[in-house]
Chain A
Amino acid sequence: MPKLSRRKIAEYVANTTKDGVVPTGVIAELAAYLADSHRTRELPLVVRTIEDVLAERGQVVARVTTARGLDDSIKQSIRAQINAKEVYFAEAVDPSVIGGVRVETPGKTLDATIIRKLNSIRSAKAS
Chain B
Amino acid sequence: MHTILTNFATAEATGHAAEEASGNVLDSLGIDPKLFVFQLIAFLLLLWLLNKYVFPVLMKAVDERQKTIDESLQAAHDAEKQAAEAEAKIEAMLKKARGEAADIVTTAKDEAGALVTKAEERSKAQAQRIVDDAQSTIAKEVIAARKALHNETIELVAQATEKVVGKTLDGKIDNKLIEASLNHSGDKA
Contacts and interface: CB of A to CB of B under 8 A. Distances in A.
Contacts of A66: 174, 178
B140 to A, nearest CB: 14
A100 B178 contact: yes
Interface residues of B, number: 26
B154 A100 contact: no
Contacts of B155: 122, 125
A96 B175 CA distance: 16
A95 B151 CA distance: 26
Contact of A125 (B154, B162, B183): B154
Interface in A43-99: 66-68, 71, 73-74, 77-78, 80-81, 95, 98-99
B150 A126 contact: yes
Given A74-B178, A112-B178, A99 B169 contact: yes
A100 B178 CA distance: 5
Interface residues of A, number: 26
A68 B171 contact: yes
A99 B162 contact: no
Given A68-B171, A122-B154, A114 B165 contact: yes
Interface string B171-183: 1011101110111
B147 interface: yes
B75 to A, nearest CB: 104
A121 B182 contact: no
Contacts of B134: none
A124 B154 contact: yes
Contacts of B189: 81
24 contacts: A67-B169, A71-B175, A73-B175, A73-B179, A77-B178, A77-B183, A98-B165, A98-B166, A98-B169, A99-B169, A100-B178, A101-B181, A101-B182, A112-B181, A112-B182, A112-B185, A114-B162, A121-B157, A122-B155, A122-B158, A125-B151, A125-B154, A125-B155, A126-B147
